[in-house]
C-alpha cells in the first residue's frame, strides 16, 4: 500500500519503543510494520526476534509469515539466550532488524538492563540496525534509559500517569505542545477503542523538530500525519504545515488550551492545514 505520509517509514540506526497494555495490539502492529514497512537508510537483510518462549510462539507460522526481505530469521528464546545475545551484540551483522518482544521483566535485572542499554544506546547506531522494543509500561524504572535513547515511540493507552506523562512529553516536544499532543492521542484511542495508538517520531525531516502521527492508523484506509514543533523560521508555538510554512489555529481550541486534533487535518494536495492561516 502507498505510504505517502511516511507513517510506515522507519530509519536505520534508530530505536522504536512500542508500548501498550496486554492485548492492545502491539505485536500485531509490529508484524504489519515488518511486512509493509518502508525502510530508509539501508536495506534490511535479516530479522532477529528476542523474547520469552511463550511470546515467541506467535512469531511462528502459520500465525506469522516472515517478511519477503528477510533472508534469515533468528529466534532468541528465553532469558539465558537473551543474556548470551547481549554479550555478543557488538557482532550483530549490519542491516539487521531486531525485535525485543516482552522483555520488560528481564530488564528489571540490573546486569541485563545495563547490557541492553548499551545495545539501545550504541549498537543500533554503530551496527546500522533497526531496533524495536515492545513493552507493557512506558514509565517503569527499568525503561528510563530506553526512553531517553529512543527515536520513535508508538504509544497505545499508556499515558494515565499525568505527572510522568507531562515530564516525558515536556522533554520531547515542550510543555506548550502537550495539550495538542494529548488531544490527538485521545482521537487515536477513540477511533479504535482498545487498539488506538499514536506515533511520535523524533527524527523525521531536517526542518522540523518533532513529528506526530495519529488517528489510530488503519492499514486499510491509510492515516493522517501531523507535525508538531517549529521550523527555524516558525514562531514559538506555531504548527508548521507540510511545506514548511508555520500555521496557527483560527478556530477550535481544546479544553486544555491546545488545538483539537479534528481541526488539524492536513490538506493532501497543498500540504496546508484547512481553517488556518500562514504567519
Asked whether the bond before 62 is cis by omega within 30 degrees of 0, the reply is yes
What is the Cα–Cα distance from 9 to 140, expressed in whole angstroms?
A: 28
From residue 243, alpha-carbon distances to 268, 274, 278 in Å are: 11, 14, 11
123 and 33 co-located in one domain? yes
Q: Which residue has the higher pLDDT, 245 or 80?
A: 80
How many Cβ atoms are within 10 Å of 278's Cβ, its own excluded?
12
Range of the domain at 202: 164-279
141 and 277 co-located in one domain? no
72 and 184 co-located in one domain? no
14 and 140 co-located in one domain? yes
What is the Cα–Cα distance from 204 to 85, expressed in whole angstroms?
A: 30
Specify the residue for cell string 539466550: 81
Number of structural domains in the chain? 2
Report the relative pairing of strands 246-249 and 239-240 from DSSP bridges. antiparallel
Q: Exposed, middle or buried: residue 74 (CB in 10 Å: 0-12, 13-18, 19+)?
A: middle
Confidence of residue 6 (pLDDT cuts 50, 70, 90): low
Last residue of a domain, one of 158, 178, 211: 158
Last residue of a domain, one of 137, 158, 179: 158
pLDDT tens, position by position, 92-102: 999 999 999 99
User: Which residues have a Cβ under 8 Å from the Cβ of 126 and sit 6 or more positions away?
Assistant: 90
85 and 213 co-located in one domain? no
**Mean pLDDT across the stretch 130-140?**
95
- Mean pLDDT over each residue of the chain, to the nearest integer: 75
254 and 233 co-located in one domain? yes
For residue 222, what pLDDT is reported? 38
Confidence of residue 7 (pLDDT cuts 50, 70, 90): low
How many Cβ atoms are within 10 Å of 4's Cβ, its own excluded?
11
Nearest residue to 97 (alpha-carbon basis) of 13, 9, 7, 203? 13
For residue 197, what pLDDT is reported? 86
DSSP 64: -
Q: How far is CA 164 from the centre of its chain?
A: 18
For 243, half-sphere exposure in the C-beta direction (CA atoms, 13 angstrom radius) is 11
Last residue of a domain, one of 158, 186, 208: 158
For residue 270, what pLDDT is reported? 31
Model confidence at 71: pLDDT above 60: yes
Confidence of residue 214 (pLDDT cuts 50, 70, 90): low
- What values do phi and psi take at 169, rounded to 5? -70, -35
195 and 153 co-located in one domain? no
Model confidence at 53: pLDDT above 90: yes
Cell triple for 84:
548470551
Amino acid at each position: 500500500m502507498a505510504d505517502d505520509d511516511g507513517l510506515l517509514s522507519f530509519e536505520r540506526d534508530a530505536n522504536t519503543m512500542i508500548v501498550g497494555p496486554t492485548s492492545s495490539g502491539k505485536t500485531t502492529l509490529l508484524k504489519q510494520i515488518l511486512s509493509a514497512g518502508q525502510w530508509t537508510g539501508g536495506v534490511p537483510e535479516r530479522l532477529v526476534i528476542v523474547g520469552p518462549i511463550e511470546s515467541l510462539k506467535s512469531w511462528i507460522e502459520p500465525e506469522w509469515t516472515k517478511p519477503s526481505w528477510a533472508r534469515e530469521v533468528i529466534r532468541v528464546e528465553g532469558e539465558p539466550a537473551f543474556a548470551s545475545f547481549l554479550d555478543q551484540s557488538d557482532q550483530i551483522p549490519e542491516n539487521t532488524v531486531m525485535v525485543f518482544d516482552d522483555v520488560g521483566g528481564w530488564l528489571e535485572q540490573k546486569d541485563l538492563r545495563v547490557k541492553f542499554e548499551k545495545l539501545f544506546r550504541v549498537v543500533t547506531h554503530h551496527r546500522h540496525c533497526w531496533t524495536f522494543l515492545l513493552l507493557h509500561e512506558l514509565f517503569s524504572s527499568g525503561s528510563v534509559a530506553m526512553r531517553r535513547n529512543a527515536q520513535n515511540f508508538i504509544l497505545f493507552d499508556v499515558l494515565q500517569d499525568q505527572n510522568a506523562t507531562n515530564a516525558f512529553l515536556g522533554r520531547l516536544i515542550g510543555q506548550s505542545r502537550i495539550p495538542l499532543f494529548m488531544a490527538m492521542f485521545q482521537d487515536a484511542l477513540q477511533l479504535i477503542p482498545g487498539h488506538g495508538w499514536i506515533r511520535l517520531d523524533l527524527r523525521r525531516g531536517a526542518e522540523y523538530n518533532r513529528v506526530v502521527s495519529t488517528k489510530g492508523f488503519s492499514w486499510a484506509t491509510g492515516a493522517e500525519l501531523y507535525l508538531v514543533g517549529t521550523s527555524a523560521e516558525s514562531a514559538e508555538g506555531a504548527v508548521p504545515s507540510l511545506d514548511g510554512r508555520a500555521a496557527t489555529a483560527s478556530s477550535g481550541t481544546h479544553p486544555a488550551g491546545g488545538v483539537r486534533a479534528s481541526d488539524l487535518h492536513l490538506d493532501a494536495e497543498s500540504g496546508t492545514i484547512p481553517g488556518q492561516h500562514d504567519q
